[in-house]
Amino acid sequence: MFQTVDVQASFELQLPLGKACGAQYSGSLKSLENLISEDLRLRGFCHVQVSGVGGTARLTVCDASSLSLGCASPERVGVNMTWRARLADIPPSSTLDLRDVERAMAGEQLFGRLSELVDGGDYRLAMDDGSFAVASSFLPPGVPTEAGLGCVAGHIRVLNEPNGSRRDEGCGLTECQTDPAGLECDEMGQYREAQRDTASQTSFCLTENGERLAWTETAVPLNDSDCIGTAALLNTP
């Protein structure tokens, strides 16, 4: 079962004439990030009211990592806002699920309202010292909201087939991640083609099912690219 849901929105802020975004302004960027974060919180962008067949709930969807800033160009600051909720945040007394939360965050309460605020070009901020005042705001063309269900740290998306009836996506550990041999896994939790045995200081290739190809063993370190296609040779007459 999925444990988290994220909804992401991006927009850009135009700096006034004479101001430029660059490495030398990293301190000002951090101050601007804190200012925007607090401003959005005060505007109600860190809570969402979720309603569904299972009832209603008010959830907090911001944390310290929700907002991030970077230089989109010398004249523009890129802002990335991520709203996040966990399954554990939903009151157990309700039967709401993360799909209900996703719809609420990606709807008019958060993403829709932020888009309206930014797209009008009227979202303006000024720091106390006058630096990095925002001249205008706008949404980058062709950049829609991004939403997705995720897993808690240490787990990834996996596919199960309960009773062979249907494919059901959820969270868990893959066969590679639970392999007692301690083989290396890639970022998707699948077996890496190239492996290294630190005890014997030998390298070898694996099949996609984690089968060791003894004839590929070598003292020379291997990369995944060195092992591509080796499994297919097993079926070569």
Work out the average pLDDT over 65-78.
87
Share of the chain above pLDDT 90, in %: 14
Among 72-81, 131-140, 208-217, the range scoring the smallest mean pLDDT is 131-140
The whole-angstrom separation of Cα 174 and Cα 157 is 9
pLDDT at 156 over 50: no
What pLDDT is recorded for position 164? 35
Highest-scoring range by mean pLDDT, 29-33, 35-39, 122-126, 177-181? 35-39
Torsion region of 183: left, alpha or beta (phi above 0 gives left; psi -120 to 50 gives alpha): beta
Q: Which residue has the higher pLDDT, 146 or 157?
A: 146
The answer to whether residues 46 and 59 touch, using CB atoms and an 8 Å cutoff, is no
What pLDDT is recorded for position 154? 47
What pLDDT is recorded for position 41? 94
pLDDT at 39 over 80: yes
CB atoms within 10 A of CB 184: 14
CATH class of the structural domain 175-226: few secondary structures
pLDDT at 66 over 80: yes
What pLDDT is recorded for position 170? 52
Q: What are the extents of the domains in the chain?
A: 4-145, 175-226
What pLDDT is recorded for position 62? 93
pLDDT at 173 over 80: no
pLDDT at 234 over 60: no
Query: Residue 176 phi/psi, 5° resolution?
Result: -65, -45
What pLDDT is recorded for position 98? 78
Per-residue confidence band for 236, with pLDDT thresholds at 50, 70 and 90: very low
* Prediction pTM value: 0.59
Q: Which residue has the higher pLDDT, 48 or 124?
A: 48
Per-residue confidence band for 237, with pLDDT thresholds at 50, 70 and 90: very low
Q: Taking the CA atoms of the chain, what radius of gyration do you get in angstroms?
A: 24
